[in-house]
């Protein structure tokens, strides 16, 4: 492990240790991937329903370089990461891997710092990926950024590096993608590369490795890009981490296996969702399945705790939305589906149109599906397919939305937008 840190007085470190453990968010915050509950559900007051490239744009700020990390928001400041080519005329080139803070009210860039450098000859990425795809996490005092095999870092809200670490050296396939999660003072993320398959727990205060969980994968294609989730079962936390051919529940304190379910699939991307005591996991390529799992078992529960699984029009990339016993999803090719979350039975299935990578959000009874073409289709979260609005921004995007009270933030290939009616 390679690690570096600033020399910070002990009193400040102690105070920071206390503040890092604060994971709660204000109603106006969207401080991590898929929001405060990690499932795309927003409790903000009414969000905008209508916009275009020229209508209801409060501001748009140009973003240099490339990155598909989704914006996060806390206390009026937005944070994103990006990768800037050091010499765009040379192919291949090296990149600066940066973190940017932006005033959410004005769109003004507050600071832009270089955190890591990606050397020439690093692993190639997929054409739809970027060198800055994992989404940051922001607490009341710190920002955590993750660049997969190139490193993880903790910054102050002024952009000062507290620590940075290369917790595990590995060879990725198609680049980086999965985002860490923060829970109880620990940072958790997956390492699913060409040959190495781990789940890693870091101390959020120091950056030190607390434990590594070896998946002991026998998958022929081991690479995946998933974001874990913490759920509570019987009053005890479980860290849920899907990967190629398997989803595993791990004790977040000890790093020991609780249960696992096996399937056929690789290159997993969607984040699992937990709803009404059931866990929902998509299995990736080549043909994705959706598994509904009862997470109360021990050991290998493949034959005993899978409630149902289905195959038709399951997303490879976007995560799911659950609401009031209904499961909503959008396939990468634009087919929207509503299921009975308990039985897996199809309630409706309709062509929304477009291609999709961003994960949807739910707010005030409406679901927002944002396509790779930059079009957002808003539908009712209901048992009948009903389109509320269609909005075209005219710029490509693979990032998921961030929201606040009455405001939507959209990251495109070249700009960050504030949408406000």
Q: Please state the pTM of the whole predicted model.
A: 0.93
CATH number at residue 118: 2.130.10.10
Please check the confidence at residue 73 and state whether its pLDDT lies above 50.
Answer: yes
> Tokens 């080139």 correspond to what residue?
93
Q: What is the pLDDT of residues 351-388, one digit of tens each?
A: 999 999 999 999 999 999 999 999 999 999 999 999 99
Once rounded to an integer, what is the mean pLDDT over residues 307-315?
Answer: 97
Please check the confidence at residue 113 and state whether its pLDDT lies above 90.
Answer: yes
Once rounded to an integer, what is the mean pLDDT over residues 183-189?
Answer: 97
- The rounded percent of the chain whose pLDDT value lies above 90 is 81
Q: What is the pLDDT of residues 3-15, one digit of tens each?
A: 554 434 433 444 4
Please check the confidence at residue 185 and state whether its pLDDT lies above 60.
Answer: yes
Once rounded to an integer, what is the mean pLDDT over residues 215-225?
Answer: 91
Residues 6+ apart with CB under 8 A from 180: 134, 137, 144, 146, 152, 187, 188, 189, 227
**Lowest-confidence pick of 38-47, 121-130, 168-177:** 121-130
Query: What does the pLDDT read at residue 3?
Result: 54
Once rounded to an integer, what is the mean pLDDT over residues 199-211?
Answer: 97
Q: Tokens for 215, please give them.
A: 């998946």
Ranges assigned E (strand) in 355-414: 361-363, 366-370, 375-380, 387-392, 402-404, 407-411
Q: What is the pLDDT of residues 222-277, one digit of tens each?
A: 989 899 999 999 999 999 999 999 999 999 999 999 999 999 999 999 999 999 99
> Tokens 């598994």 correspond to what residue?
291
**Lowest-confidence pick of 25-29, 112-116, 183-187:** 25-29
Query: What does the pLDDT read at residue 20?
Result: 52
Q: What is the pLDDT of residues 326-361, one digit of tens each?
A: 999 999 999 999 999 999 999 999 999 999 999 999
Q: How confident is the model at residue 53 (pLDDT cuts 50, 70, 90)?
A: very high
Q: What are phi and psi of 146, to 5 degrees?
A: -140, 130
- The rounded percent of the chain whose pLDDT value lies above 70 is 92
Query: What does the pLDDT read at residue 9?
Result: 41
Query: What does the pLDDT read at residue 8?
Result: 42
Of 372 and 126, the one with more pLDDT = 372
Please check the confidence at residue 151 and state whether its pLDDT lies above 50.
Answer: yes
Q: Which of 236, 273, 240, 283 is nearest to 259 (CA)?
A: 240
User: What is the CB neighbour count within 10 angstroms for residue 301?
Assistant: 19
Q: What mean pLDDT is reported for the chain?
A: 92
Please check the confidence at residue 188 and state whether its pLDDT lies above 70.
Answer: yes
**Structural domains counted in the chain:** 1
Query: What does the pLDDT read at residue 125?
Result: 77
Once rounded to an integer, what is the mean pLDDT over residues 72-81?
Answer: 98
Residue 309 sits in which domain range?
A: 2-419
Please check the confidence at residue 92 and state whether its pLDDT lies above 80.
Answer: no
């Amino acid at each position: 492990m390679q690690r570096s840190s600033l020399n910070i007085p002990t009193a400040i470190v102690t105070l920071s240790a206390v503040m890092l453990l604060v994971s709660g968010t204000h109603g106006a915050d969207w401080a991590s991937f898929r929001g405060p509950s990690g499932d795309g559900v927003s409790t903000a007051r009414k969000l905008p329903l209508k916009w275009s490239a020229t209508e209801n744009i409060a501001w748009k700020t140009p973003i240099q370089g490339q990155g598909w990390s989704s914006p996060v928001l806390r206390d009026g400041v937005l944070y994103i990461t990006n990768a800037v080519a050091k010499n765009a005329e040379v192919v291949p080139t090296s990149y600066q891997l940066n973190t940017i803070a932006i005033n959410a009210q004005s769109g003004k860039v507050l600071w832009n710092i270089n955190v890591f450098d990606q050397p020439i000859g690093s692993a190639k990425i997929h054409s739809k990926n970027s060198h800055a795809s994992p989404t940051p996490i922001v607490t009341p005092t710190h920002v955590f950024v993750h660049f997969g095999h190139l490193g993880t870092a903790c910054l102050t809200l002024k952009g000062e590096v507290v620590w940075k670490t290369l917790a595990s050296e590995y060879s990725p396939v198609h680049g980086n993608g999965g985002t860490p999660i923060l829970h109880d003072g620990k940072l958790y993320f997956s390492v699913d590369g060409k040959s190495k398959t781990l789940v890693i727990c870091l101390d959020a205060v120091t950056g030190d490795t607390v434990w590594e969980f070896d998946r002991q994968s026998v998958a022929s294609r081991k690479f995946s890009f998933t974001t874990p989730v913490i759920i509570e079962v019987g009053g005890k936390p479980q860290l849920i981490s899907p990967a190629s051919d398997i989803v595993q529940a791990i004790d977040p304190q000890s790093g020991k296996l609780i249960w696992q379910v096996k399937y056929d699939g690789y290159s997993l991307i969607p984040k699992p969702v937990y709803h009404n005591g059931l866990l929902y996991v998509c299995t990736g390529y080549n043909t994705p399945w959706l598994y509904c799992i009862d997470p109360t078992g021990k050991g290998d529960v493949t034959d005993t705790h899978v409630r149902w699984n289905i195959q038709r029009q399951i997303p490879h990339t976007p995560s799911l939305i659950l609401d009031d016993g209904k499961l909503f999803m959008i396939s990468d090719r634009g087919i929207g589906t509503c299921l009975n979350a308990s039985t897996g039975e199809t309630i409706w299935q309709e062509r929304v149109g477009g291609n999709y990578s961003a994960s949807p959000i739910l707010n005030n009874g409406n679901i927002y599906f944002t396509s790779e073409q930059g079009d957002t289709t808003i539908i009712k979260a209901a048992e009948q397919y009903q389109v509320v609005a269609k909005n075209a921004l005219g710029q490509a995007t693979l990032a998921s939305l961030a929201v606040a009270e009455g405001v939507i933030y959209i990251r495109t290939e070249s700009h960050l937008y504030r949408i406000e009616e």
